[in-house]
């Protein structure tokens, strides 16, 4: 069985997908881009601000289910420019300070709304 997760504290899906899905003891969080939930607009600023907003959106979905960053076991970070890896990593590290999850980071040609970063996650339900 699966359960769809949705919260107004994170951006609405911009396509035929769910913000997150609970199944088999896990929460699968769709890729979060740096859209401000209240406005539907991409956050102002550069890659640091975009990374922070993407992670805030991810945390909002986790928090909606009573979870925290410590429940995250795997993330995938999609970035537009691998030269930004250090800046993204610095912000990312502020959210995953203890027992960091497994992670993949890949450079992609283009992301939705032409953002610079997108982050998805898998968390274990407590």
| Contact of 71 with 124, CB cutoff 8 Å | yes
Long-range residue pairs from 13-18, CB within 8 A, at least 24 positions apart, any chain? 14/112, 14/113
| Contact of 58 with 91, CB cutoff 8 Å | no
Catalytic residue among 36, 60, 100, 105: 105
HSE-CB of 101 using CA atoms within 13 angstroms: 23
Look up 105 and say whether it is catalytic.
yes
Catalytic sites, residue numbers: 105
């Amino acid at each position: 069985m699966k359960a769809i997760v949705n919260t107004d504290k994170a951006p609405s899906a911009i396509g035929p997908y769910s913000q997150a899905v609970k199944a088999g003891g896990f929460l699968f969080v769709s890729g979060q881009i740096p859209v401000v939930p209240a406005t539907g607009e991409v956050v102002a600023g550069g890659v640091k601000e975009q990374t922070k907003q993407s992670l805030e959106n991810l945390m909002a979905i986790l928090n909606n289910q009573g979870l925290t960053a410590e429940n995250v076991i795997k993330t995938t970070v999609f970035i537009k420019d691998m030269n930004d890896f250090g800046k993204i990593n610095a912000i990312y590290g502020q959210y995953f300070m203890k027992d960091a999850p497994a992670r993949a980071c890949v450079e992609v040609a283009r992301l939705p709304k032409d953002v610079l970063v997108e982050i998805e996650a898998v968390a274990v339900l407590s």
